[in-house]
Chain A
Amino acid sequence: MEVMMSIVCGILFMAATYLMLSKSLLRIIIGTGLLSHGAHLLILTMGGLKGGAAPLLGEKAKSYVDPLPQALILTAIVISFGVTAFMLVLAYRSYQELGTDNMDHMRGTDSHE
């Protein structure tokens, strides 16, 4: 199971990287979204899968899955959501101001000012 999940995570990372290297701002943000999905799954996988019942003491099970990675992921989900939302509005605003979402047109260095 962990092997399969590792491969799935790898594929998510790969797709995310490919999208982030593209020109369109929207695709870059989609890429970051995929990347955070991959990272969350990876954390869960690394904590070990299916080791027992859900981490609710009411279950009265012999063993539970590791609750710590879940707490970490929950935090990460919220943070990545905040950042994604911010980036989306940033993209929206920059489109409004600059009239483009092509990263090549937003290029600038000191020597090209």
Chain B
Amino acid sequence: MSLLHLAILLPFIMALFVPFLYKWFKSVHTGWFVLLLPVFLFIYFFRYINPVSSGSNTYSTVNWIPSLGIQFTAYVDGLGLLFALLITGIGALVILYSIYYLPRAKEQLHTFYVYLLLFMGAMLGIVLSDNMIVLYTFWELTSLSSFLLIGYWHTREKSRYGALKSMMITVFGGLCMLGGIILLYLVTNTFSIREMVTQAPIIMEHPYFLPAMLLFLLGAFTKSAQFPFYIWLPDAMEAPTPVSAYLHSATMVKAGIYLTARFTPVFGLAPEWFWLVTGIGIITLAWGSFHAIKQTDLKAILAFSTVSQLGLIMSLLGAGSASLHFESLDNKMFSAAVVAAIFHLINHATFKGSLFMAAGIVDHETGTRDIRKLGGLMSFMPITFTITVIGAFSMAGLPPFNGFLSKEMFFTSMLKLLEFNLFNVETWGILFPVLAWIASVFTFIYSMIIVFKTFTGKYQPEKLDKVPHEAPLGMLISPIILASLVVLFGIFPNVLSFSIIEPATASILPYLLEDGEQFHVHISHWHGWGPELYMTLGVIGLGILLYLGLAKWKLVYKLFPEKLTLNKAYDVSLRGLDKGSLKVQELYMTGFLRDYLGYIFTFVVLMTGWALFSKSAFTFETAGNAPIGIYEIVLAAVMILGAVTILFAKSRLTSIIALGSVGYGVALFFVFFRAPDLALTQLVIETISVSLFLLCFYYLPELQKREKLPFKLANFLVSLGVGTVVTLIALSANSQRVSETISSYFIENSYKEAGGKNMVNVILVDFRGFDTLFEITVLGIAALGIFAMVKLRLSKGEES
């Protein structure tokens, strides 16, 4: 147990105390206590920057289930540290923001902060775990806590829907990932990621490679809201805004990005990986940005923009995996894509966090997030406006903000893919820069919508519930810090490059480096008149034109039928599953005992019959059999007659008497087969049984029509089958005696050991006395049961 483990577990420990803090300190907003933790953790992780950037990674191990190879290994390298800083840093800002966003008087704060801390701890666990099973545990914890946070206002129908949807999709992905983990374990015999990376060549050759990779990607794509699994993210916007800012822009949705980056050294050499990650990323980018424009809710626009930006990062990671094919540092063409991915990941966290917070402020101060009702807020909320401008312009990729730089690097990487001469990229590769460019135009447009539809134009006070005014200072602090970072990273991007980006790149592309070598990242604003700059100019130009003509071409969106959306497909398939299973259930669960017995008997006949014939088990051998006497034939005939009489009896009395005759026949058989005790018992019991039957008959008949049992062919066939199978099994069993019986022991020892001459009785009370004990118990229970049934009555009032 090291300090590092404690850092991961501290949020969970803190979560335990939150309800007490909430109850004990009624005058203080619980968030202030909670805020201390991420601040402390951020400082703690900040101190790792020096060792990690000089190339030394820290790890420490605690045994959890050593017999299964599951150790809780905490591991800090460049990538893990980057995420840990994001999680704790933005976590602190979000908690600060939430203190002002959620009033103590109205909200159930203790549950909110418990869920949030749970989430924070789980996220830290994901990014700092080396063991895949531990990682998976934390992975599911994030799904769970995200579910709780989305459904925070659980009295709202939409919150519950959104929470359930995100749970279904992310847990589906999580389970797929677990499958991938197990497959990888079967190949490498370890759960440690670092050891898996060293065994990457072995994994490449293995037949499990492709399924494991696909399962991993399913996990990553569902969590990171990639196409077509992004549908849960817009619905998750029902969560409180601090949650949306934290989980659904900066941290949780990047868990899939993290996983993809983490496993690039394992899977990255495969063409499938390149095509899937880059392709799905680009599709998500274009699709998300295209759909963002038609949204009217600020948070929905931001949700689709998150989807699209995540697609961008994903495609950059895919492009970065191309660098694994050229194992020399001279060829930095494609590793630059990884640098761009990391840089944009940081940028996105900053500007998207600030935009969500700004949207939350607008919602908080005006009572709506609908851009059709908003407008002209610039003069009321100048600070929020400034924050939104910085965030949105950065998102659109305008200088001097950090989004400009990452977008330039993105274009560079996509253009360089054209020079990549593997996997037939030369044919379809042209689509990458084209789609990237189109998506950037859309990104530009919706960024402008966020700024200008909200803050400029006509002020519509009649549509707003409140009189808008600037938010309190406390609520503005966090977005101001994030917006300052946007500007800071925009103007001085290299503060990040040595400290964070280089070590993170090194952990994504570990074997491109010789010992002691480091990536040298230098991000510059001005890199000459390259094609990227022309592309950016084109984005801005076309973007402005399209934004101004938005009202005209927005009708395009009406062309897409509502019924063909992915949400519809999700809803319909879910409802279909519901209805389908109900139908199936109603089909066979008829409520008739007869049907269930029919299934059971049919199954018995088919299974035993099939086994009997498929294994050719039926044998017929009569060598050891006893001779047949005339008495037995007559008796057998009487019994068969009795049984058949029951079937054809018109009255119940006849059938009861026929049953009695069969019973006495059995007693006679016992006599013939030399079983005196059995014969005695059978006679007595049959007599009592028949009188019981008669007793029942006396109470039952009035209502009964004295009708013959109606003939049913299906029933007849089933019972014929049962009879035949029983006979066949009896004959085969009789013909194949495997060993001698143990009866010689009883015959020899009945008198010697037990002092009795009646062997059956000796067996019953001495050799196998336990049987008798419990058969007595059965009789006792039956007697008590009958007594209870006859005597005990619930009075009408007590009946349920």
CB distance from A49 to the nearest CB of B (A): 4
> Number of B interface residues, CB 8 Å?
98
Q: B763–A34 contact, CB under 8 A?
A: no
Shortest B704–chain A CB gap in Å is: 7
> Main secondary structure on chain B at its contact with chain A?
helix
Query: Please, which residues of chain A bring their CB within 8 A of the CB of B688?
Result: 81, 85
Across the interface, which residues of B come within 8 angstroms of A40, CB to CB?
666
Partner among B586, B681, B696, B781 whose Cβ is within 8 Å of the Cβ of A74 = B681
Prevailing SS type, chain A contact patch = helix
Partner of A10, one of B692, B715, B723: B723
Task: List B contacts of A91 (CB < 8 A).
Answer: 696, 700
CA gap between A57 and B762 in the complex, in Å: 11
With A44-B673, A71-B763 already in contact, the answer to whether A11 and B685 are too (CB < 8 A) is no
In the complex with contacts A14-B722, A26-B652, A56-B757, A92-B681 CB distance below 8 A = no
| Residue pair B655, A30 in contact (C-beta under 8 Å) | yes
Knowing A18-B719, A85-B692, A93-B789, the reply to whether A12 touches B662 (Cβ < 8 A) is: yes
Are A18 and B743 interface neighbours, CB within 8 A?
no
Instruction: Tell yes or no: B456 within 8 A of A by CB.
Output: no
Interface size on A, residues (CB 8 A): 89
- Judged by a CB distance under 8 angstroms, whether B594 is at the interface is yes
Q: Which of A80-100 contact B (CB under 8 A)?
A: 81-86, 88-93, 95-96, 99-100
**B726: which of A10, A24, A53 is its contact (CB, 8 Å)?**
A10
Contacts of B778 in A (CB 8 A): 78-79, 82-83
A49 and B673 contact, CB distance less than 8 A: yes
Query: Chain B 772-791 against A: per-residue CB contact (8 Å), 1 yes, 0 no?
Result: 10010011011101100110
> How long is the Cα–Cα vector from A64 to B669 in the complex, in angstroms?
17
| Closest beta carbon of chain A to B753's beta carbon, Å | 12
**1/0 per position for A28-52, CB-CB distance to B under 8 A?**
0110011001101110111111111
**A5 — which chain B residues lie within 8 A by C-beta?**
636, 730
B699→A57 contact, CB < 8 A: no
Nearest-CB residue, chain A, relative to B715: A21
Which chain A residues (52-69) contact chain B, with CB distance < 8 Å?
A: 52-58, 64-68
Q: Shortest distance in angstroms between B687's beta carbon and chain A's nearest beta carbon?
A: 11
Most-contacted residue by chain A among B590, B627, B674, B781 (CB, 10 A) = B674
Question: Closest 6 interchain pairs by CB?
Answer: A14-B723, A10-B727, A17-B719, A82-B782, A6-B730, A67-B759
Residues of A within 8 A of B (CB): 1-24, 26-27, 29-30, 33-34, 37-38, 40-42, 44-58, 64-68, 70-75, 77-79, 81-86, 88-93, 95-96, 99-101, 103-104, 106-109, 111-112
Identify the B interface with A (CB < 8 A).
582, 586, 589-594, 597-598, 601, 622, 624-629, 632-633, 636, 639-640, 643-644, 646-647, 652, 655-656, 659, 662-663, 666, 669-670, 673-678, 681-682, 685, 688-689, 692-693, 695-697, 699-700, 703-704, 709, 712, 715-716, 718-720, 722-724, 726-727, 730-731, 733-734, 741-743, 746-747, 750-751, 757-760, 763-764, 768, 771-772, 775, 778-779, 781-783, 785-786, 789-790
